[in-house]
Amino acid sequence: MSSENWLVAGLGNPGPRYSRTRHNVGQMVVDELVGRMGAGLARTKVGARMVGARLQPGGPKMLFAVSEGYMNTSGQPIRRLMDYYDVDPARLIVIHDEVDLDFERIKLKRGGSEGGHNGLKSITQHLGGDRDYIRVRVGVSRPPGRMDTADYVLQNFSADERKALPQVLQRAGDAVEHVIADGLTAAQNRVHQL
């Protein structure tokens, strides 16, 4: 029987070159959540930085993690953490950028396709094709004109977006906490109304 642990994984790429790009919004949300707890991420032996915490005393343990590798290799360290801490795929929450949502929109879902997202593809592959994990989809909007999507998500947020970004990260962090505290359906009802 699996443990009651949750793993919250924020997707992105390593290093200062990518740290403030649209593709790294998942890692930014994990930083927001960890900052609320006055904690910091520590390196592990599996290629990820991680910290454990609880929403409240006696509540389920939450493991917050970001991969130290590139987006398309996210699945391996996440799978290793899941195996080590006995996390069921149904208790995995993956936070990622979503070009099919307008900037500032946040949507929650369980399962479904990866929509061309290389981080999600890597996770699904390392879970043996299991897609039964929860996604916190943080909208970054579609690229303008004919700009390539890969180039677009590797750019920093615009000046106007940067002004609104702290609130977006806060709302996405709240969404994660709602999922863990109240369940996915209740969290969707709350988050999708905003």
The verdict on whether residue 18 carries a ligand-binding annotation is: yes
Q: Would residue 23 show up in a list of annotated catalytic residues for this protein? A: yes
Contact 135, 120 (CB under 8 A): yes
Beta strands in 38-192 (DSSP E): 42-43, 48-54, 61-67, 92-98, 106-110, 134-139
Nearest alpha carbon to residue 71 among 12, 8, 9, 138: 12
Whether the Cβ atoms of residue 136 and residue 172 lie closer than 8 Å to each other? yes
| Residues near 188 by beta carbon (within 8 Å), at least 6 away in sequence | 108, 109
Q: Which residue of the set 23, 117, 126, 178 is catalytic? A: 23
- 72 annotated binding-site participant: yes
- DSSP calls for 35-68: HHTT---EE-TTSEEEEEEESSTTS-EEEEEEES
The reply to whether 118 sits in an annotated binding site is: yes
* Residue 24 assigned as binding residue: no
Q: Which residues of 20-50 are buried (b: 16+ CB within 10 A; e: fewer)?
A: ebbbbbbbbbbbbbbeeeeeebeebebbbbb
Residues comprising the binding site?
18, 70, 72, 118
Residues marked active site are found at 23
Residues comprising the binding site for tRNA?
18, 70, 72, 118
